[in-house]
Amino acid sequence: MTRGTKRLRILVADDHELVRRGIRGLLCARRGWTVVGEAMNGREAVEKVNRLKPDVAILDISMPDLDGLQATRRIRDAVPTTEVVVLTMHESDQMVRRVLDAGALGYVLKSDLPTQLVKAVKDVSAGKQFLTPRISDIVLKGFLKTGNQVDTMGRSQVRPTSREVEVIRLLAEGKANKEIAIRLGITIRTVETHRAKIMLKVGVHSLAELIHYAIRHKIFTAPSAEE
Q: What is the pLDDT of residue 2?
A: 44
> Where are the CATH 1.10.10.10 domain residues in the chain?
147-216
Cα→Cα distances 97→50, 125, 158, 183, Å: 25, 20, 8, 29
Q: What is the pLDDT of residue 23?
A: 95
Q: Give the mean pLDDT of 197-204.
A: 79
Q: What is the pLDDT of residue 211?
A: 82
Residue range 8-141, CATH number:
3.40.50.2300
Find out if CATH 1.20.1440.230 is the number for domain 147-216.
Answer: no
Q: Contact 68/15 with Cβ under 8 angstroms?
A: no
| pLDDT (tens digit per residue) in 51-100 | 999 999 999 999 998 999 999 999 988 998 899 999 999 887 778 878 88
> Where are the CATH 3.40.50.2300 domain residues in the chain?
8-141
| pLDDT (tens digit per residue) in 138-179 | 766 655 454 444 443 334 455 788 888 999 999 888 888 889
